[in-house]
C-alpha cells in the first residue's frame, strides 16, 4: 500500500513538472489529477469529473475510450477556445497499465497553435511574394509581345515600352533587394550590434541622398538635432531606417510639404532601461487611419496599394525598419492623425561613451 501511495505521489509530481497541460484519468474515467497548466485551460472544476464532460470533443473521446477498453495508445487534435483566442493542441493518449484491470489513462496536450500560425504565415508570405513578382512579370511579357508585334516598326512606341519595362524590372529588383535584406536581418536577429554610430551623421547622409527626390515633388527636408548623437548600432542598417522613414514621409506626406527629422536625448528610457536617443520623422501629410496602424509593419501591408505601387514601394520598408529596430533592442512607434500627418519615432540605446557624458547633452 505504502509503495502504491509513493508511486502515485511520484506520478503527480511528474505531471506537475510538465509545462504542457496534462490530465491523469483513473480507471473509472474521472480526472484523478490535473496539473496547473491543465487547470489553467479547463478550469478548476475538472478535478474528479468524468473525462466525457471535460473533453467533450468526439475526436478526442474516441482515442480515450480505446485506451480504457483496449489499452491502445493514441493521438488526437484538440482545439480549445477562450474568448477570441483559439488554442490548438496535439494530444497524446497513453494507457498506464498495472496488471489486468482497466488502466489509468494519461493525456498530454502539446500546444501547436504557434507552429500552425507560422505555417500559415509562411504560406501567406510565399503567396504574397509570388503575387508581387507576377504583377510586373505579366506587364513585361505584355510589353515584349507589343514590341514584337504592333510596335515592331514604331520607334516612338518602342521607346515608351522600353521605358515601362525598365520601370517594371526596377520594381522587381527593389522587391528582391528588400527580400534579401529581410532574410539577412532574420539571420542576424539575435546578434546585437556593438559599434558606436553617429545617428546625426546617418540622418544627414540620408537627407542628402533623398533631397533630389524631395525637391522633385516640392518637399522640404529639415533636421533638428545636436551635432552628434552616438548610439550602439550597425551603421548600414541605421541608414536603411533613416532612408525608409524619410522616403515614406516624402512619398506619403503632403506634396508640397515638409518632412522634419528631430533627434532628442533621453536620460533614461524606461522600457530600454538605459539612456537613449529618440529620433522622430514627422510629415504634414494626410496621415494614416487608426485601423491600419497596428498592421503597418507587416510584410506587404499597405494602406493604399495603388499609391504605394505608383511610388515604387514594395510594402516591405516598415517591416525592415521594425526588424532593424528589434535587432538594436530599440523601439518603433507610429503616431498618426488623419489630416494632421504622421510621426514615426525610433528610440535607440545611447552608446555608453556618450551616456557617461550625458550631463553635457541632456
Residues of this chain that bind ligand ADP (CB under 6 A): 244, 248-249, 252-253, 283, 285, 288, 296, 302-304, 308, 313-319, 342
By beta-carbon proximity to ligand ADP, the closer residue of 110 and 309 is 309
How far does CA 260 lie from the centroid of its chain? 28
Q: How many binding residues for Mg ion (CB under 5 A)? A: 2
Strand, coil or helix: 31: strand
When CB distances are held under 5 to 8 angstroms depending on the partner's kind, the choice from Mg ion, ligand ADP, none that residue 237 binds is none
Nearest distance from residue 248's CB to Mg ion, in Å? 4
Distance CA 241, CA 335 (A): 17
Output the CA torsion sign for 25, 30, 36, 40. positive
Contact 199, 229 (CB under 8 A): yes
How far does CA 56 lie from the centroid of its chain? 35
Nearest distance from residue 255's CB to ligand ADP, in Å? 11
By beta-carbon proximity to ligand ADP, the closer residue of 29 and 257 is 257
Nearest distance from residue 239's CB to ligand ADP, in Å? 15
Nearest distance from residue 253's CB to ligand ADP, in Å? 5
Residue (of 117, 169, 111) closest to 140 by Cα position:
169
Cα distance from N-terminal residue to C-terminal residue, the chain: 73
Nearest distance from residue 198's CB to Mg ion, in Å? 24
- Asked if 248 interacts with Mg ion (CB under 5 A), we say yes
Contact 250, 213 (CB under 8 A): yes
When CB distances are held under 5 to 8 angstroms depending on the partner's kind, the choice from Mg ion, ligand ADP, none that residue 303 binds is ligand ADP
Distance CA 106, CA 260 (A): 62
Interaxial angle between packed helices 317-327 and 235-252, expressed in degrees from 0 to 180 and rounded to the nearest 10: 150
User: What is the DSSP secondary-structure string of 72-97?
Assistant: --EEEEEEEEETTEEEEEEEEEEEE-
Nearest distance from residue 299's CB to Mg ion, in Å? 12
Applying the rule CB under 5 A, the residues between 297 and 326 that interact with Mg ion are 317
Q: Taking phi first (over 0 means left), then psi (-120 to 50 degrees means alpha), and beta for anything else, what does residue 43 get?
A: left
By beta-carbon proximity to ligand ADP, the closer residue of 132 and 269 is 132
By beta-carbon proximity to ligand ADP, the closer residue of 137 and 254 is 254
For residue 301, how many C-alpha atoms fall within 13 Å in the half-sphere facing its CB? 13
By beta-carbon proximity to ligand ADP, the closer residue of 94 and 314 is 314
By beta-carbon proximity to Mg ion, the closer residue of 248 and 354 is 248
When CB distances are held under 5 to 8 angstroms depending on the partner's kind, the choice from ligand ADP, Mg ion, none that residue 285 binds is ligand ADP
- Asked if 249 interacts with Mg ion (CB under 5 A), we say no
Nearest distance from residue 257's CB to ligand ADP, in Å? 10
Residue (of 81, 83, 56, 73) closest to 108 by Cα position:
73
Distance CA 28, CA 35 (A): 19
Distance CA 47, CA 15 (A): 14
By beta-carbon proximity to ligand ADP, the closer residue of 55 and 325 is 325
By beta-carbon proximity to Mg ion, the closer residue of 294 and 312 is 312
Nearest distance from residue 321's CB to Mg ion, in Å? 8
By beta-carbon proximity to Mg ion, the closer residue of 74 and 317 is 317
Nearest distance from residue 232's CB to ligand ADP, in Å? 25
When CB distances are held under 5 to 8 angstroms depending on the partner's kind, the choice from Mg ion, ligand ADP, none that residue 315 binds is ligand ADP
- Asked if 354 interacts with Mg ion (CB under 5 A), we say no
CA distances (Å), 103 to each of 46, 56, 194, in order? 20, 21, 59
When CB distances are held under 5 to 8 angstroms depending on the partner's kind, the choice from ligand ADP, Mg ion, none that residue 288 binds is ligand ADP
Residues forming contacts to Mg ion in the complex (CB under 5 A) are 248, 317
Amino acid at each position: 500500500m505504502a509503495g502504491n501511495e509513493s508511486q502515485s505521489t511520484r506520478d503527480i509530481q511528474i505531471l506537475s513538472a510538465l509545462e504542457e497541460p496534462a490530465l491523469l484519468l483513473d480507471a473509472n474515467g474521472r480526472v484523478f489529477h490535473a496539473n496547473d497548466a491543465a487547470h489553467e485551460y479547463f478550469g478548476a472544476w475538472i478535478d474528479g469529473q468524468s473525462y466525457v464532460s471535460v473533453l467533450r470533443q468526439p475526436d478526442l473521446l474516441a482515442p480515450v475510450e480505446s485506451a480504457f477498453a483496449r489499452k491502445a495508445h493514441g493521438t488526437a487534435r484538440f482545439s480549445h477556445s477562450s474568448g477570441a483566442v483559439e488554442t490548438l493542441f496535439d494530444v497524446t493518449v497513453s494507457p498506464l497499465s498495472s496488471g489486468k484491470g482497466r488502466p489509468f489513462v494519461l493525456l498530454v496536450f502539446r500546444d501547436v497553435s504557434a507552429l500552425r500560425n507560422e505555417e500559415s504565415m509562411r504560406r501567406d508570405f510565399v503567396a504574397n511574394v509570388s503575387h508581387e513578382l507576377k504583377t510586373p512579370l505579366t506587364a513585361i511579357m505584355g510589353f515584349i509581345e507589343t514590341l514584337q508585334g504592333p510596335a515592331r516598326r514604331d520607334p516612338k512606341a518602342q521607346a515608351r515600352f522600353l521605358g515601362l519595362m525598365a520601370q517594371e524590372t526596377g520594381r522587381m529588383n527593389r522587391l528582391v533587394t528588400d527580400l534579401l535584406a529581410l532574410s539577412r536581418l532574420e539571420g542576424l536577429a539575435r546578434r546585437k550590434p556593438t559599434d558606436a554610430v553617429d545617428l546625426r551623421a546617418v540622418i544627414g547622409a540620408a537627407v542628402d541622398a533623398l533631397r533630389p527626390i524631395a525637391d522633385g515633388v516640392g518637399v522640404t527636408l529639415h533636421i533638428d538635432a545636436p551635432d552628434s548623437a552616438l548610439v550602439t548600432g550597425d551603421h548600414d542598417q541605421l541608414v536603411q531606417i533613416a532612408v525608409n522613414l524619410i522616403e515614406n514621409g516624402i512619398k506619403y506626406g503632403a506634396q508640397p510639404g515638409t518632412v522634419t527629422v528631430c533627434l532628442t536625448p533621453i536620460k533614461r528610457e524606461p522600457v530600454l532601461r538605459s539612456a537613449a536617443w529618440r529620433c522622430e520623422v514627422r510629415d504634414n501629410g494626410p496621415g494614416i487611419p487608426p485601423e491600419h496602424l497596428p498592421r503597418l509593419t507587416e510584410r506587404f501591408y499597405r494602406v493604399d496599394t495603388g499609391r504605394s505601387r505608383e511610388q515604387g514601394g514594395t510594402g516591405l520598408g516598415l517591416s525592415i525598419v521594425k526588424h532593424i529596430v528589434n535587432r538594436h533592442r530599440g523601439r518603433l512607434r507610429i503616431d498618426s492623425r488623419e489630416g494632421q500627418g504622421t510621426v514615426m519615432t525610433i528610440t535607440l540605446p545611447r552608446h555608453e561613451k556618450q551616456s557617461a557624458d550625458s550631463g553635457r547633452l541632456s
